[in-house]
Amino acid sequence: MRHWLFKTEPDVFGIDHLQNRPDQTEPWDGVRNYQARNFLRDDVAVGDNVFIYHSSCKNVGIAGVAEVVKAGYPDSTQFDPDSDYYDPKATTASPRWFRVDVKFVEKFNQILSLQTIKAQPDITEIGLVKKGGRLSIMPVEDKEWETLYRLASGKGT
DNA sequence: GCCAACGTTGGC
DNA sequence: GCCAACGTTGGC
């Protein structure tokens, strides 16, 4: 099983939205970045755990955990002219964009702030810290997951 | 709202 | 295939 981090703007769709969904499950769509798309299409698998990260807001950081319940399949918003995510160059025969379904697992009592994450000496390779933090879907190494989960949940391992 | 860093586009 | 121009992201 692999671990991931998905970024989201909590004003649009955050951990609370996910928790309040029917079945606490929601398609993770609207990803329009090729590197992130490749992860969704090729690598994210059912049963993988995902950190839900809140960006572009007052309290930036990891807010909770979700689990992948459906692996990559075409993101239907790319075919919908009324959608913000419409892509006229995408066809059903060869979809460009993919999404996965995620289910709520856990909300942390407190956001694990980006500042705290960056302060960890062994968290230096994560995409959050590199590349100016712009990638919206990124893998998290097992060791990094352990460290971050311990910090966020306050639980020992 | 600013601005740095990155991704995408399109002319050549 | 290069690279300048442009758009977007995201922390602050």
Q: For position A45, what pLDDT does the model report?
A: 98
A143 touches strand C (CB under 7 A): no
Q: Low-confidence residues of chain A, pLDDT below 70?
A: 127, 129, 132, 155-157
Output the pLDDT for position A88.
86
Sorted by where each begins, the domain ranges of chain A are: 3-153
Question: How many angstroms is C1' of B4 away from CA of A22?
Answer: 40
pLDDT of A15 reads 97
CA-to-C1' span, A3 to C12 (A): 28
Could you give the CA distance from residue A71 to residue A84 in angstroms, rounded to a whole number? Answer: 23
Residue A71: alpha-carbon gap to chain centroid = 13
Angstrom distance, A35 CA to B11 C1': 26
Give the CATH class of A3-153: alpha beta
CA-to-C1' span, A52 to B7 (A)? 23
Residues 39-78 of A with CB under 7 A from strand B: none
Q: What is the pLDDT of residue A157?
A: 54
Chain C footprint bases within 7 A of protein beta carbons: 9-12
Give the integer Cα–Cα distance in Å for A152 and A116. 10
Quick check: A17 CB within 7 A of strand B? no
Q: How, if at all, do strands A61-74 and A25-28 pair?
A: unpaired
